[in-house]
Amino acid sequence: MPRRGPAPKREIEGDPVYNDVMVAKLINNVMKDGKKSLAEKIVYAAFDILREKTGKDPLEVFELALEKVRPLVEVKPRRVGGATYQIPIEIEKERGQKLAIKWIIQAARSVKGKRMEEKLADEIINASNETGAAYKKKIDLHKMAEANRSYAHLRW
């Protein structure tokens, strides 16, 4: 943690095709071992599959999926007098978007037997239709926060 105030936020430029910051963040999260060109190919191929399957603009479907998967609260462990409580905390929009992107990619990677482009496209479609593993993860997190709502007064 820096001593002279918080570290400045870095501005991320939009991706080369759609000129959208969220697509650039998706590409950066899909990327492994610094292979950005491969990650771009995967994401753009997934967007082409989205266009074929839905008949809509893939950017709109992706943004809808992000909104549906983005959590509003999360739980953080807090130790109080020897006991650890899961305390629900509202989260910022930026962190929620980061979690949504991460969950969509994790859900796509957990599927076996398909190419990554197809898995990513399927997960984005499922998330926009309020189904799939990423959306279920959001629902589970919200249920946990609701169950631990009585510990909200322990927030610091």
Nearest Cα to Cα of residue 137 among 59, 60, 63, 74 = 74
* Domains of the chain, earliest start first: 21-154 (1.10.455.10)
- 89-100 residue pLDDT tens: 999 999 999 999
- 3-40 residue pLDDT tens: 899 989 889 999 999 999 999 999 999 999 999 999 99
pTM of the model: 0.92
